[in-house]
Structure formats: structure tokens, C-alpha cells
Structure 1
Amino acid sequence: MSTDSRLLVGCDRCGRVSEAEASHGTAYFWFPIGHTFGKVTSAFGENQIDAAIYRDGGYVGVDLERFKAEKVVGVIEPVLTSREQDDTRVLPLQNGSPSVADMGRVRSFTEFAELIRSDSLRQVLTDERLTSHFQPIVSLQDPTEIFAHEALLRGIDNDGNHLSPAGLFHQARQAGLLFQLDLAARRSAIINAVRQGVTSRLFVNFSPSAIYDPVYCLRTTVGAIREGGLDRSKVVFEVVESDKADDPQHLQNILDHYRAAGFKVALDDVGAGYGNLNLMNRLRPDYIKLDMELTRDVDQDPYKAMVVSKLLEMANELGIESIVEGIETKGEFDWARDHGARYAQGYYIARPGPTPRTSLNAS
């Protein structure tokens, strides 16, 4: 199930998906030493890639109209060390030969390879091949009560297989498409929640670094909620990677915008670093999600137990509702219930799926 045709409507910076110039024309490769040059030209010959070899200049040119960029990258990567890949330079040109004026466009082979791999992401965004799976969040006091669902992004490849969100967001950062993907993920969550008839609270992830100005960058997200008829008080915007937030005031502005519009907010991965403990105190979110590395085996690890207990105590004193993530065993579930956590999420309860759960068996 893909998002609708309005998925990428928004401000110009967030909504446009441009074609990657790097995968067309001719790519010129410069190598740090003759040995590296020899390894690559030999690999090209073995794989029937007819490259133009400029021995005097120590570089080769490959016609990307004849040989797919993905194949060229796949031939070079196995024969070079990571250091050699970083030191090799690439210049993709649509027309003509390299000149001094083009030097500002030279990049490392490592960057070039990431950019080529990101072409698949551009196609996913252009074709709107995104959907959302839903994982329930339950009350620890009554695990049959579904308190909320978290919408989790899934991409869809050309064969209909699901692409992991971690891989998609890694490609997006490398290709400068984080703004477009984050917007598309938020709208996918909302559109699919409406289609699936989600009536519980809905947790929607967002990355603060993907939002320039909340007034403009979030208007299409808010518009989708309005059009879908969702109850704003049941929509929770969840800050992902809060431990990496390097501009707390920017994040504060975003959360203030959401709250002023009637939404709730949550901090994810609390406990992963000292930084997001400061954020919890400063931002006073409605919900916190405890980092799953802390909750894993919390019933068996005294150190983790003490840390998590203090975090839960702090949240309760601040009036913040707590959610423990990554619950995979009955022991973890029971420990969280007995130590003051309000809600739980994890494979022990239910895995994410395309259809939201409407009921659960008691744990």
C-alpha cells in the first residue's frame, strides 16, 4: 500500500526529489597509487566494463549510459580497501571532459557509492512506495488494553519486498534526502492510520534535523491529520534520536508548535545518553520511551534495574508517562509493571504488522 499522490506536497526544500546526476553521463576515477589503478582496471576488464584508460593522468572514465553505475560500484568495492575507497576520487560529468572548473564537484569513491545506492531511495520516493506497519503499546496493568499504536515506516522495493527504515534513513542522510523522507514517513503514518481505522492513540516519529521551520515544514503533516479527521489529542509526535539533538531550542520550537496545535509529544530512547536526560527536564514531554538497551534483561541485571528504576521515578515525579520499549520476555514485562512503568511495547506483546491490532490476549 503506497501513500497518496499528495505525499510529497509541501515546501520546495522538503518536497522535491531530484534525479541523481551521478548515475548518468561519464564517471572519471582518480586513484591514489598505481597499484590501486591496476587493481581497478583489471577488475573492469574481468567484468567486461569497457573503460577509457588515461595512464598518464592516472585515471579512467566509464560511460554510465552503457554500464550501470550500480555495476561499476559493485566491481570496484570488492577490490579496494576502505582506505583506498576513501582516497579514490570520482567526478561524474554529464558532458565533456574534466576541467579545473569541475574540481569542486569531485568526491570520494565512498561518497559516490553511497550516492549511487541512494538512487533506489529516490525511486521509492518518486513512486511513493512507502507504507506503515503498526505496533501496539499496551497498559502494563491491563495488557489486553491497547493504549496506542506506533506507526513504523516500511519502504517497498521493485519486487514488493519491504525495505527497513534504518536503511532508508541512512541512505537519505547520505544523499541529502532526509527532509523528503521524514516528511513522506510522517504522511505515510497518518494516511495509513486513517485507512486502517486506527482509533487508539497514534505515535508518529519525526527527526528534528529534518525540520527547518515548524510553521512551514509541518503544515502538510498537520493538514493530513485534519483531512483524515484524526483526533489531535490522540496523535503523539515522537522525537527519534533525541540523544543526538544538538539544538535544544530548535527542538523546543518544534514541540511548542505541535502542542499549540493540540498534539502530544514524546521523547524516544531516554537513557541512551546524558543529553536526553537534560532534554526530558527541559522539554517536559507528555511521554518518554526508555531506551531498549536498558530494558533488555532488566529483570536479570541489577545495574540496569537501578538505572531504569531511577528513570521511572524521575518521570513519575515530573508527571511524565513512561513507556518501556523492546520488551521481549515475560520477566521484563513483569519487572516493568512492578516498578512503576505505565505502558509497554515489544515483540513479547506483538510484532509490527500492516493491520493494527484491535485486541490482545492477557500476558
Structure 2
Amino acid sequence: MTPPNGCGRCQTLPGTPDEPGRLFLWPPLGHSLGKLVAHLRESGGSYQLRADAQCVVVGMGQGGLRQLSAHLPNVLTAEEVRGTRALFVPGDSEPGMADFPRVDSLQRLTTLQQSGWLVDMLAEGRLTTFFQPIVHAQDTSHIFAHEGLLRGRDAGGALVPPNRLFDTAREADLLFQLDLAARTTAIREAVRHQLRTHLFINFTPTAIYDPAHCLRSTVAAIREAGIPESHVVFEIIESDRAANAAHLRAIVDFYRQAGFKVALDDLGAGYSSLNLIHQLRPEFMKLDMELVRGVHADPYKASIVQKLLEIARQLGIQTVAEGIETPEELSWVRRHGVDFVQGYLIARPSDVPARSTPRITD
């Protein structure tokens, strides 16, 4: 269900209960309830069965939810865990009317418990941005833009890669909060480093309910930072997961009306659709690195990339070839008219934006 406008979900972090209390569970089937009660009986756990409400109330000591989470896969199927409604109430009080809006799935409750490290990271602001330059294809010493790439830091300061952050966020239903934090962190770090180039900022369409409400803080942060709107490019990631094209178009329209540009990422990868080009009409198209890798030696890849570049030229869309790692790849995309390149051959992502890049000649 879509929350009401201005719900503030992306700015609110859920709690991960670890104090003593009681866990109220409503399994989807009587069979599921029976399996759960049998497990609690065999394990000697404290519980109370309320047959009239098809509910079992489990006494939780310190760390009890974590222990229950560890045993759940051996007790209930994944579908039963998803279908079981759950409510944690601290202490020994009965839930009141004000508590019932907090009823959630048992899966989310236990996943949040297991991903408390991410909640803590978000709450403590332990996110940072690495920057990778995007340079002119014909003159790689000329930096056009920097892409902001999210990184986290654990409690000891070690880097946490973005795939772990986003995978955990999806499982724990924290994608809304993480995506907002990623955007604002990129803006903050660009200002801190006094970035003067264009800035590519990633966003996940499924993390945005309503552009007019979910993106206001991002736009405000850019304007307060004094970054020119014309220098900001919002890069659509995971377009295959967008709810529908109309929703994605509404997001793109919101960004454009605010003065920003839009890039379509990973063109030619996964579920990316050429339909998105005419539906979204981006200012930039980024060719997927797997398509670019070895393009000079693969006639199938070469044919596909040539056609994409031809389409972009005809439509006035600027192109970025991602994942350039060898001089041969760079030489090929240059000859076929790509506008910009990005990849390890030029520069790796760094916590300090590159001020210069090498001039690479054929």
C-alpha cells in the first residue's frame, strides 16, 4: 500500500527491539501456529497461546528476538514467516490501539534484527561517497563530471561495499532511507571537496513513493549547497525494478522541472529496455560495462554498441561508455563516436575527487 503524501518514511529509522518484552504472533494458518507452539514447547520458551485470536505470545528476554530469528528457518517455511504478523511490546503490558499500526511481518522484524548494523550506520551517519571521474573520450585529461558512489563504514572504520548495503536494505525494507542518505551524502561530500565539475548522483526509482514529497529534501540540499542545477545529473539505477514507466516518468519530470538533467544507466544490461529511451528521453545514456568490455574483439557486442551509439546521435543524447579498462576498448569507443568514458583505465573511485586524469592517446 502506498503511504500518504508526506509520510516521512525515508527519513524515519525503524527500531530493532532487543530489550525484554513480549512478541505477539499471528501465523497465517492453524498448521503454522501448531508448528510454532510445538517449537516453543520443546525449546522450553515462555509462551502463552490465545486460541480465540489464533495468537501466540512469546516472552522475550534480552536478545530473545535474535535467538528466535536463528531458529525460525527450521520451524516455519519462508512463506509462513512472511505471512505471520508480529508485534513487539516492551515489558509485560498488553498492546493498545496505538500499538497496532506497528504490526508488521515477522520476516521484516527478524530481518531488521539481523540488519541492525545498517540501522546503526544510518543513524550515526557512517556513510561516505567515493568519486569516479567521467572524462571526454577524445581528451581523457579533460574531466567532465564525477559520479558519486556510495560506501559505508563499519563501527571500526572499515569500508562496507555498496552491494552489501543495498542488498541488506532491500531485505530489511530500508531502501527508502538508504537511497535518501546516499543522495544527500553525495551532495555533502561534493561540497566538502569543492567539486566544480558536473556531478552524477544515483537514485533508485523504487525508493521514491511520490517525487513531490520524497525528493524535496534532495533538491533543497543541492540548492542550499549552491551547486548549479545544470551541473547535476540524476542517474537512474535498477530501472528494471521500477514499478511502472509512468512512475519513473513522474520522477524524471520532477527532476527536469527543478533544472536537473537525467542519465539512463546500464543501457544494454539485464532487463533494461530500449523503450525507456523514448519514454524518459534522457540527456545521457550510459553503456553497461559488460557490453563495453572487450567490445573491440567481439563482433556481437560491437554491433549492439554501434547501434546504441547511432540511436543516441540521432536523438541528441550524449553517451558515456562505462568500465573502460584497456587501451583497445578506449580506442574502439572513440572511433565509434562515444562522448565520454569512465573506468579503471582512466581512474578508480576514490574518497577524494580526482583533479586531473592522464591523457591517453591511441
Q: Structure 1 length normalisation: TM-score?
A: 0.80
Gaps of 5+ in 2: 1-5
**Partners of 2:321 and 2:340 within 8 A in 1:** yes
Name 1:4's counterpart in structure 2.
none
Q: Find the partner of 2:308 among 304, 308, 311.
A: 311
**Partners of 1:28 and 1:62 within 8 A in 2:** yes
Shift of 1:321: 0.4
Distance 1:213 1:336, change over 3 A: same
Distance 1:274 1:287 in 2: 18
Shift of 1:117: 2.5
Report the AA paired with residue 88 of structure 2. Answer: L
Report the AA paired with residue 13 of structure 2. Answer: V
Q: Deviations over 1:207-234 (max 9, x none)?
A: 2222223222222111111111112111
* Matched position secondary structure for 1:276: coil
Shift of 1:191: 0.8
**Partners of 2:17 and 2:113 within 8 A in 1:** no
**Partners of 2:312 and 2:319 within 8 A in 1:** yes
Distance 1:40 1:335, change over 3 A: farther
Matches within 5 A, 1:179-258: 179-258=176-255
Shift of 1:278: 0.6
**Partners of 1:190 and 1:225 within 8 A in 2:** yes
Q: Find the partner of 2:71 among 52, 69, 76.
A: 76
**Partners of 1:292 and 1:325 within 8 A in 2:** yes
Identity %: 44
Distance 1:85 1:213 in 2: 31
Distance 1:274 1:66, change over 3 A: closer
Distance 2:324 2:94 in 1: 57
Q: Deviations over 1:169-210 (max 9, x none)?
A: 223233332222211111111111000111111001112222
Name 2:336's counterpart in structure 1.
339
Name 1:16's counterpart in structure 2.
12
Distance 2:296 2:253 in 1: 36
Distance 1:359 1:275, change over 3 A: closer
Matches within 5 A, 1:110-125: 111-125=108-122
**Partners of 2:47 and 2:59 within 8 A in 1:** no
Name 1:349's counterpart in structure 2.
346
Distance 1:207 1:33, change over 3 A: closer
**Partners of 1:23 and 1:116 within 8 A in 2:** no
**Partners of 2:266 and 2:272 within 8 A in 1:** no
Name 2:169's counterpart in structure 1.
172
Distance 1:274 1:282 in 2: 15
Distance 1:359 1:41 in 2: 67
**Partners of 1:243 and 1:269 within 8 A in 2:** no
Matched, 1:262 2:259: yes
Matched, 1:66 2:62: yes
* Matched position secondary structure for 2:227: coil
Distance 2:125 2:198 in 1: 25
Report the AA paired with residue 14 of structure 2. Answer: S
Matched, 1:134 2:131: yes
